[in-house]
Chains A and B, each alone.
Chain A
Amino acid sequence: MNIRSILSSRWAVLGGFALGAILLMGVAPAVLSDFRLGLLGKYLCFAMVAVGIGLAWGRGGMLVLGQGVFFGLGAYLMAMHLKLADAPASTGVPDFMALISSDGVPWWWEPFRSGAVTLIAIVVIPAVVAIVLGLATFHRRVRGAYFAILSQALAAAFAIWLIGNPRSTGGSTGLNNFKGFFGFSLRDPANRLMLYLIAAGALLAMIAIARQLMVSRYGELLVACRDAEERVRFLGYNPATIKTAAYTVAAVMAGIAGALFVPIVGIISPNDVGIVPSIGLLIGVAIGGRTTLLGPVLGAIAVAWAETSLSEQFPSGWTYLQGLLFMLVVAFLPGGLASLAPTLRDWRKHRRSDTAAGQPGVAAVPEGSA
């Protein structure tokens, strides 16, 4: 690779990020209404989860069906803090708890009165859960379908636990009706814009991190693990560590996304974290192209947008469409829309009879299980 191509690719990357930042942080707030911007902020949260899924599933081959758990952990931690901060100073008990019983605040809520503890927990708790689960399963070579089913069972158990403890988690209604966010009123449009900008910034940062991981030697190693895990072992690596790292990064991204989702959307409930929403997060990734960097992001935003617009008009129509998308995209276009791009490029190249070598195909969707 010569210097010029390195420079040009570096400039292209920087330019791409600058363009993304201008679109998300400049153009979108200027042209969209407050309401629409709030919706976009919500889609960006799903896109953050999608970046992690792209890394863990697309590059690492781990079918992560329980990302709703990490999303939910981040969301509920943030929601607990906001509820405690909103609580009347006299009692310190959040409104919904005071309604249900007079036992006061459960002991495990107490640490989250502190904003700093909450912010640390939002990153650390999903990471710890992912590390424990990742090492426990990958270390014993529980993988492929088994891992997918376990991650789904975790999502189910988490949602059932939330619903079963209405006094401390709000039950099936979840936690809602937040008034402030670290001292800023959520009613004020300026503060809501600030939240949107934080979400946009977080998404761009996560894309940058995912990109660095994908182009690094670690990224190559991760693809190697996806395609031939045993071979990696015989080269002296421990695949469990490699895969757990990607799984943990994906979990932390989902946790942060959940934490931002709460003040932007104003509610978190078991409906956002169970089995169905957890798998639902995957369809955007699949449509956009699971092995690519931007495919999952664009796919997740497009799917979330389609869901909002369609389910307003045809509530049952959206479920049919979502089901059909899963069936058709995964069965017939496993590489997602991104896999059409090289085909188009080849076709144009043919026309110009250009014979430059293509990118190495990490984008290829692997066969078999991981």
Chain B
Amino acid sequence: MNTGFNRDYLQISDLRVSFDGFVAVDGVDLVVLPGDLRFLIGPNGAGKTTLIDAVSGLVPATGSVQWAGTELLGRKVHRIARLGVGRTFQTATVFENLTVLQNLDIAAGAGRGVRTLLRKRSQVPESVTEVLATVGLTELADAQAGTLSHGQKQWLEIGMLLVQNAKLLMLDEPVAGMSAEEKDETGELLQRIAADDRTVICVEHDMDFMRAFAASVTVLHAGKVLAEGSVADVQADPRVQEVYLGPGAHTAAEVEAVMGEAH
């Protein structure tokens, strides 16, 4: 190990996923370092969600996914989760019949022994209390998760990743359906999380949100990496413009309308 460089990074090489002959991810190479807030964008069917499905063990894939020096491909979903890899889903999936507190407590407890499991929770774990504050749900700790608003559910999911102590967080459209204020709060939260030396990958269609909060961007198209770099780099890339706007030259106004204003 050289000069204290954090080895907990994600390195994907030549990742391929196919469903019955249809190639959804076609030889993707990707490196994401801790502290990065990486956005994965691309048109529908580009393979964004499939990529994080493969990393989290939901779909079988070939190639290599190394996380903190460990190969993830071929491991079971819950084993991968225990290595510190967490993810959310397009539709927020929380345990609707349990309270916010219970949701977080379960997320915090994958390493618990049988004895702890068989006992009633006598006190709230410190990590849970902290995360409740971080995601702004302290007031709602005893509310049933099913009664939360869409945005609150997404925050609860992010909170669950935090108490789970995931070092690699993969979020699938976390701000879909949120109000502008909620989006800003979510974006700031993600920036804080990334600053805490975690690796954050965010699949997103919302270009304004991406522009406001992305530290770096990877554009996928038809299962391949089309472009990678800062927001400005990617927006200026003619190949990206072509994918979003169709072939030919495009005016600045057109580009801005779809991809947002370049900085």
Given contacts A357-B142, A361-B97, A362-B98, contact A234 B117 (CB under 8 A): no
Given contacts A235-B110, A361-B144, contact A217 B98 (CB under 8 A): no
Across-interface contacts of A213 in B (CB, < 8 A): 118
Across-interface contacts of A238 in B (CB, < 8 A): 76, 78
State whether A360 touches B102 (Cβ < 8 A): yes
State whether A216 touches B93 (Cβ < 8 A): no
Of B36-44, B80-88, B220-228, the segment with at least 4 beta carbons within 8 Å of chain A is: B80-88
Residue A223 at the B interface, CB < 8 A?
yes
Contact residue range for chain A? Answer: 20 to 34
Nearest-neighbour CB distance to chain A for B164, whole angstroms, equals 6
Residue B130 at the A interface, CB < 8 A?
no
State whether A233 touches B81 (Cβ < 8 A): yes
Contact residue range for chain B? Answer: 35 or more
Given contacts A217-B117, A221-B106, A360-B142, contact A235 B97 (CB under 8 A): no
Residue B77 at the A interface, CB < 8 A?
yes
- List which A41-91 residues lie within 8 A (CB) of chain B: none
Beyond known contacts A232-B106, A362-B98: 12 more, CB 8 A cutoff: A215-B120, A216-B118, A217-B117, A220-B105, A230-B93, A231-B89, A235-B81, A235-B110, A236-B110, A238-B78, A360-B98, A361-B146
* Cα distance A232–B110 in the bound complex, in angstroms: 9
Across-interface contacts of A218 in B (CB, < 8 A): 117-118
* Cα distance A221–B119 in the bound complex, in angstroms: 12
Given contacts A227-B97, A360-B142, contact A236 B81 (CB under 8 A): yes
Residue B96 at the A interface, CB < 8 A?
yes
Nearest-neighbour CB distance to chain B for A309, whole angstroms, equals 37
A-B contact count (CB 8 A): 90
Across-interface contacts of B144 in A (CB, < 8 A): 360-361
Nearest-neighbour CB distance to chain A for B135, whole angstroms, equals 16
State whether B119 touches A234 (Cβ < 8 A): no
Q: Which of A216, A230, A235 contacts B107 (CB 8 A)?
A: A235
Q: Which of B56, B77, B98 contacts A220 (CB 8 A)?
A: B98
Across-interface contacts of B102 in A (CB, < 8 A): 220, 360
* Cα distance A224–B106 in the bound complex, in angstroms: 8
Residue A310 at the B interface, CB < 8 A?
no
- List which A116-155 residues lie within 8 A (CB) of chain B: none
Across-interface contacts of A361 in B (CB, < 8 A): 97, 144, 146
Nearest-neighbour CB distance to chain B for A3, whole angstroms, equals 12
Given contacts A216-B118, A228-B93, contact A234 B110 (CB under 8 A): no
Residue B112 at the A interface, CB < 8 A?
yes
Mask: chain B, 132-156; 1 = CB below 8 Å from A; 0 = not = 0000000000101010000000000
State whether A234 touches B81 (Cβ < 8 A): yes
- List which B67-121 residues lie within 8 A (CB) of chain A: 76-78, 81-82, 86-87, 89, 93-99, 102-103, 105-107, 109-112, 116-121
Across-interface contacts of B119 in A (CB, < 8 A): 216-217
Residue B160 at the A interface, CB < 8 A?
yes
Across-interface contacts of A364 in B (CB, < 8 A): 97
Residue A184 at the B interface, CB < 8 A?
no
Q: Which of B82, B94, B98, B105 contacts A223 (CB 8 A)?
A: B98
State whether B95 touches A217 (Cβ < 8 A): no
Residue A29 at the B interface, CB < 8 A?
no
Residue A237 at the B interface, CB < 8 A?
yes
Interface-central residue, B56, B77, B103, by most chain A CB under 10 Å:
B77
State whether B56 touches A217 (Cβ < 8 A): no
Nearest-neighbour CB distance to chain A for B46, whole angstroms, equals 23
Residue A180 at the B interface, CB < 8 A?
no
Across-interface contacts of A234 in B (CB, < 8 A): 56, 77-78, 81, 86-87
